[in-house]
Amino acid sequence: MQSIDGNTVVITGASAGIGRATAHAVATAGANVVLAARRLDRLEDIATTLEREHDITATPVSTDVTERKQVDELVEAAVDEHGALDALVNNAGLVFEGEVETMDDEDYHTMMDVNTDGMFYASRAALPHLKKTDGTVVFVASFAGQYPRSSNPVYAATKWWTRGFAHSLQGQVGGDGVAVSVVNPSEVRTEFGSGRGEQSKDRYDEGAVTDPEAIGAAIRFMLRQEDVDTVSEMNLYRRDKFETF
Ligand SMILES: NC(=O)c1ccc[n+]([C@@H]2O[C@H](COP(=O)([O-])OP(=O)(O)OC[C@H]3O[C@@H](n4cnc5c(N)ncnc54)[C@H](OP(=O)(O)O)[C@@H]3O)[C@@H](O)[C@H]2O)c1
């Protein structure tokens, strides 16, 4: 597998959960990371820790992925600092639980804006640079984007969108050397759900569902594919998932 030592990786949603775990996973392999999320104080703490523990550069960039200009500036900042971009991890995402009948416009639009528009903006900004490096775009989708989810059709639909967009994008840019990969976690112990209600790390006991570090390691594996190969899609589920599904 190819080395990612010295590569530059932009990670959205890097202030918590899977994004933060991915930053640790790729920094362990020597990649420089550009950390994006809205909570800059958190990103700064994570960057300090990463630079102390690894011989890499970690750059925090305050970014709301729903703001096109901020996303463009994020990618520009990464390229200005490192001269190139090797990977984008499209991870920022959120959920508001709710029945369709009673869901208000704000919850609907926020889920759509973050989970779909954000991934589009970041991909569009990154692609010209990834074409130069034969780079990789990773999309964090979900089990909820593969099977109907009665408890939350809107969130599920954003993840079906993610998978559809990612695979079609691979068709468009694969010939230019860009790899596109999708990872589908089932439940992961993170702050997911904190926008409204209980965080998944409070809902599930330690060891009961997937840890974010496992998803971070899977994403690092995706970034290490070489030459013509790509991990098109990876399902990383908890082992008892189909018992409860
Ligand atoms: N946890 C699960 O069970 C699970 C399962 C399958 C898929 N996923 C997917 O995994 C991804 C990461 O979720 P997680 O579990 O790590 O959740 P998390 O711990 O809640 O982290 C979500 C991240 O997204 C960022 N974010 C939210 N809105 C944003 C915005 N407008 N602009 C920029 N960043 C934003 C948050 O940062 P700020 O608040 O600082 O902006 C945070 O860093 C999501 O796409 C989610 O759908 C999660």
- Probe target for ligand 1 pocket from 67, 186, 192, 219, with the most ligand atoms within 8 Å of CB: 192
pLDDT at 182 over 80: yes
The pLDDT-based confidence of 76 (bands split at 50, 70, 90) is very high
pLDDT at 166 over 80: yes
State pLDDT tens for residues 115-155.
999 999 999 999 999 999 999 999 999 999 999 999 999 99
Please give the distance of CA 178 from its chain centroid, rounded to a whole number. Answer: 17
91 lines ligand 1 (CB under 6 A): yes
pLDDT at 195 over 80: no
Looking at domain 8-244, does it have CATH number 3.40.50.720? yes
Q: How far is CA 209 from CA 132, 156, 196, 217, 241, in A?
A: 38, 19, 21, 16, 9
pLDDT at 206 over 80: yes
CA of 20 to the centre of ligand 1 (A): 10
What are the residue numbers of the active site?
155
Domain parsing of the chain, residue ranges: 8-244
Q: Which atom of ligand 1 is nearest to the CA of 64?
A: 32
- Please indicate whether residue 174 or residue 194 has the higher confidence score (pLDDT): 174
pLDDT at 196: 76
The pLDDT-based confidence of 240 (bands split at 50, 70, 90) is very high
Q: In this structure, how many other beta carbons lie within 10 angstroms of the beta carbon of residue 200?
A: 19
Q: Sheet containing 32-37: which strands, arranged edge to edge?
A: 58-62, 32-37, 8-12, 87-90, 136-140, 179-185, 233-236
Mean pLDDT of 177-193: 97
pLDDT at 197: 78
209 lines ligand 1 (CB under 6 A): no
State pLDDT tens for residues 210-222.
999 999 999 999 9
pLDDT at 194 over 90: no
State pLDDT tens for residues 22-71.
999 999 999 999 999 999 999 999 999 999 999 999 999 999 999 999 99
Mean pLDDT of 190-199: 88
